[in-house]
Amino acid sequence: MSTAEHVSWSLVVPVKPLARAKSRMSPHAGPHRESLALAVATDTVAAALRCDRVRTVIVVTDDPLPAADLAALGARVVPDVPDAGLNPALVYGAGRSREFAADMGVGALSADLPALRPLELARVLDAAAASPEAFVPDAAGTGTTLYTARPGVPFAPAFGPDSRAAHRARGARELLLPGTDSVRRDVDTLDDLRTALALGTGPRTAAVATRLPALA
């Protein structure tokens, strides 16, 4: 196996159609809900692209608006051809990634990490390179924000309810590194958003947040 510092990564980021995104934020975001969802995804992808361990970001989406914005950042955008749920979409994106470069590790990254720090992501990816499969649990302790498979290892994500337990049960190594809070801080609720803003989000999320009455 290549040493960690010699592993490059392709990250697959699933982006829901904006009409269905951030539904739990509807009472707080109101007419800004879709703008918030787009801002969060854009800040996440922008940070991932700035990570020097990441060679490419594959965005899987059927929504033309985020597709255009994320492609403009430098992501490769592919449609959700399987149209069979999150994990099949991620597997499809990973397959497309390995068509471009079979020597890369592949990761599935949540699109809900607006405070993501490129250096913290690099630390996690270096640690992930030491195991065939690895994952990062979310800050709540039940979900997953990142799942990785080393080069040549089958890509088999288990996102969904209690995905932390599902990934552990399948033998993936859990990564809980100090100083990597931004990789775990996904945003689903207003409290999540407040915490991410305190940690320091990307500029797009911060700008939309100023328009939310609940955060005034």
pLDDT 10s digits, 9-33 = 999 999 999 999 999 999 999 999 9
Strand partners, 148: 107, 134
Query: Which whole number is the average pLDDT over 181-193?
Result: 97
For residue 72 the two structure tokens come to: 């403009």
- Given a cut of 60, whether residue 101 has pLDDT beyond it is yes
- Given a cut of 60, whether residue 203 has pLDDT beyond it is yes
144 assigned ligand-binding residue: yes
CATH of the domain at 101: 3.90.550.10
Which is nearest to 45 in space by CA: 4, 6, 93, 102?
93
Residue 11 resides in a domain: yes
E strand or H helix at 145: strand 144-149
pLDDT at 5: 52
- In the numeric block, the tokens 């399987």 are attached to 82
Percent of the chain with pLDDT over 70: 98
Which is nearest to 202 in space by CA: 180, 187, 188?
187
- Determine the structural domain holding residue 113 and report its residue range: 4-210
- Given a cut of 60, whether residue 3 has pLDDT beyond it is no
- Given a cut of 50, whether residue 1 has pLDDT beyond it is no
Neighbours of 17 (CB within 10 A): 15
Residue 141 resides in a domain: yes
- Given a cut of 50, whether residue 38 has pLDDT beyond it is yes
- Given a cut of 90, whether residue 205 has pLDDT beyond it is yes
Strands (E), 24-109: 54-60, 76-78, 105-109
Could you give the number of structural domains in the chain?
Answer: 1
For residue 99 the two structure tokens come to: 């068509």
Residue 137 resides in a domain: yes
163 assigned ligand-binding residue: yes
What are 48-100's pLDDT values in tens digits? 999 999 999 999 999 999 999 999 999 999 999 999 999 999 999 999 999 98
pLDDT at 2: 40
Mean pLDDT score of the chain, rounded to an integer?
A: 95
What's the CA gap between 68 and 62, in Å, rounded? Answer: 11
Residue 46 resides in a domain: yes
pTM: 0.95
pLDDT at 109: 98
171 assigned ligand-binding residue: no
What's the CA gap between 6 and 62, in Å, rounded? Answer: 33
Residue 17 resides in a domain: yes
Residue 158 resides in a domain: yes
Three-class SS of residue 216? coil
Neighbours of 105 (CB within 10 A): 26
Strands (E), 28-90: 54-60, 76-78
pLDDT at 6: 76
- Could you give phi then psi for residue 130, rounded to 5 degrees? -85, -5
Strand partners, 11: 57, 107
Name which of 2-11, 79-88, 202-211 the model is least confident about.
2-11
CA angle, 105 then 107 then 113, to 5°: 145
Residue 109 resides in a domain: yes
